[in-house]
Structure 1
Amino acid sequence: MANCFLTPEPDMFQALTSVGEMLTRNFDTLCRPGLLICGQLEDSLPLAMANEGPAPQVFSTDYRYTQWLKDHNYQQLEFGSEPTDGTCDAILLLMPKAKAEAEYLLAACLPLLAEGGHIFIAGDNKGGVKSAPQLLAPYCNRVNKLDSARRASLFHGTLSRSVAPFQQADWLKNYDLPREKLQIYTLPGVFSAEHLDTGSSLLLQTLGRLQGRVLDFGCGAGVIGASLLKRQPELELEMIDINALALEASRQTLARNGLNARVYPSNGLSQVNGKFDQIITNPPFHAGLKTFYSTTEELLHGAIHYLKPGGRLTLVANAFLPYPDLIQASFGNCETLAATGKFKIYQATKS
């Protein structure tokens, strides 16, 4: 079967998105000292703006994007679940997929902005940017649309009242996993943020007893990792994700359930060291507004090099995706452990 997956470009964020192209028409307004950019960063917009004026400060919850900017020697950069660097004179929020995440980012970043400072929101017209006036209503007396082009829009408001200091704990939500006797803690925009998703549930029902060193790839809110540790506290578990909000949610889930694991950011397997007895994953399927396969494709090709002899890769995937071919090509074997109408559990063993 032909490989239908998206192969990562050598410079994956270099080309401007339609939102970025629209914003280039507004550089006279946006390229100003003290600008902070946050949200759905997925192109070379900060580099383009730095070529036209002062380099904007970038706050990103996406580790992969942060590493890309670092590789381009970009210095005005912070990765994390909330900004900690200083103050700013203007904020540009690139609209994330989840409206709740946009609300979170505004609450987290606006305390850095002095009263009277400028707030810009830009995004794809199909990606929720039309809600910008409602998002800015708690902070601005008036919101104007500055531009609309290439199926993208730019809104502007002026901060008209002081903003309370950000308290991340106010944004934490939780839900119960009665079967596992766990509480899962989440933050806006994190996968499996409101309930246990069907795929992870099937994966947890299918997994047998594990041993040794285990990697939870794409840990999200920590559902899989916490469940494994609840069953087997002796496991040496590591949990990775590219999303800072997911990593913080996983840390909260572990801490509040009295569990311990190493939780850290990794771009695919790039920041992982050593070899594992087991890699478990409900791999990413979407990034922003796009269907996204390349991270999973890289995992299926590369996982064998991070497993000990006899080590296993186990994952859940939508049944229509041709993952077995990729797994077979890498491992020489692929077993289907369970299947429903929508999901399948695949497992491969390193010989």
Structure 2
Amino acid sequence: MLKALTTVSEMLARNLDVLTQQPLLVCGLLEDNLPTMLADAGPAPRIFTTDYSYYQWQKNQGIKDIEFGTQPHSQAASAILLLMPKAKAEAEYLLAACLPLLAEGALVFMAGDNKGGVKSAPKLLAPYCDQVVKLDSARRASLYQAQLTRPAAPFNMTQWQKGYSIAQEQLQICTLPGVFSAGHLDSGSQLLLENLASLSGRVLDFGCGAGVIGASLLKRQPELTLECIDINALALEATRLTLANNQLANQAKVYASDGLSQVTGTFNHIVANPPFHAGLKTFYHTTEALLNTAKDYLTPGGSLTLVANAFLPYPELIEKSFGHCETLAINGKFKVYHATRR
């Protein structure tokens, strides 16, 4: 987790006189100690995050007013600062979830990396605000300000649910904004599913996303004891919805975990299509930590199977940890790796 301020927060530091005139509800792409910086300059902000890793880190930093989940609690807010997330659809979702907490006339701020979609702030805020002003632009980041002129409708999660079918798996997938593989089955997961052998016992779906892998495993083998983990609250909710859509809701445990930190005991199998992006950056730490420690979470004879972009240097890490690494399949862009605890 980054501890230095991001360039977006460095730009925001130039505008603390405006931002700290009222307590802020801060949400979106939080990556650093921005909450502490805001609290040092004015009223302590209220933080809402869908990222369990960030939530845990900030709690350990002593931040008390922080929420993790799919939407903030219904407590009214004085003003909002949205840090532009990677996906525009997620920004729309967060605005819809947070703006109902504001009174008419309240201030709405949006900030982000200029290459990360923040320039769409005027369009994103148009349904709620008559005028959007760019307050600052520095270090390749921008800050916009607007005033809520039209009360936002009460938030309704079901309006944000989308889905698709996977005919070969006879599955109905439910997705939410910003969740991986949101519009269709990604080719990496497809390759993984095509090359998964029959499993048994306790199985971990690491980085469950929309629940595609977990639901497929249970559809094939209902007798499995399945656990699905992710750091993203929207991914966890999408997985729950996917399982429910396929009458599998009572057959899996779905919970937040920062890597394997919240996992207990050992598994017969770990299956993963792990992430390698965090925000706008390429990010390998979570997967590397998995590969380095997965063996400790497997029973003797237990296996790790994962799919990854072919260019990533994961075989070396798997071999270092397990003593061997087998490549099960290749489709040009992705490779499926397999290793067993001996």
TM-score calculated relative to the size of structure 2: 0.99
2:309 maps to 1:309: no
Distance apart, 1:283 and its partner CA? 0.6
Secondary structure at 2:105's aligned position in 1? strand
Distance apart, 1:324 and its partner CA? 0.6
Superposition pairs of residues 50-129 of structure 1, within 5 angstroms: 50-129=39-118
Name the structure 1 match of 2:217.
Answer: 228
User: Residue type matched to 1:277 in 2?
Assistant: N
User: For the residues of structure 2 that align with 1:152 and 1:231, how far apart are their CA atoms?
Assistant: 48
2:38 maps to 1:38: no
Name the structure 1 match of 2:261.
Answer: 270
Encode CA deviations 1:86-116: one digit per residue, 9 max, x unaligned.
0101000000010000000000000111111
Distance apart, 1:34 and its partner CA? 2.9
1:347 to 319, 338, 341: 338
User: For the residues of structure 1 that align with 2:122 and 2:153, how far apart are their CA atoms?
Assistant: 20
Q: Runs of 4 or more off by more than 4 Å in structure 1?
A: none
User: For the residues of structure 2 that align with 1:127 and 1:27, how far apart are their CA atoms?
Assistant: 22
Distance apart, 1:124 and its partner CA? 0.3
Distance apart, 1:13 and its partner CA? 2.7
2:270 maps to 1:279: yes
Name the structure 2 match of 1:5.
Answer: none
User: For the residues of structure 2 that align with 1:345 and 1:221, how far apart are their CA atoms?
Assistant: 20
Distance apart, 1:267 and its partner CA? 0.3
User: Residue type matched to 1:79 in 2?
Assistant: F
Distance apart, 1:33 and its partner CA? 3.2
TM-score calculated relative to the size of structure 1: 0.96
Distance apart, 1:73 and its partner CA? 1.0
Name the structure 2 match of 1:185.
Answer: 174
User: For the residues of structure 2 that align with 1:77 and 1:238, how far apart are their CA atoms?
Assistant: 26
Secondary structure at 2:320's aligned position in 1? helix
User: For the residues of structure 1 that align with 2:293 and 2:335, how far apart are their CA atoms?
Assistant: 21
User: For the residues of structure 1 that align with 2:244 and 2:252, how far apart are their CA atoms?
Assistant: 9
Name the structure 2 match of 1:154.
Answer: 143
Name the structure 1 match of 2:13.
Answer: 24
2:126 to 114, 122, 137: 137
Name the structure 2 match of 1:320.
Answer: 311
- Aligned residue pairs, count: 340
Secondary structure at 2:209's aligned position in 1? coil
2:294 maps to 1:292: no
Structure 1: 5+ residue runs without aligned partners? 1-11
Encode CA deviations 1:189-243: one digit per residue, 9 max, x unaligned.
0000000000000000000110000000000000000000010111000000000
User: Residue type matched to 1:92 in 2?
Assistant: L
Secondary structure at 2:78's aligned position in 1? strand
Superposition pairs of residues 240-251 of structure 1, within 5 angstroms: 240-251=229-240
2:326 to 313, 335, 338: 335
User: Residue type matched to 2:295 in 1?
Assistant: I
User: For the residues of structure 1 that align with 2:202 and 2:57, how far apart are their CA atoms?
Assistant: 29
User: For the residues of structure 2 that align with 1:88 and 1:35, how far apart are their CA atoms?
Assistant: 7
Percent identical among aligned pairs is 68
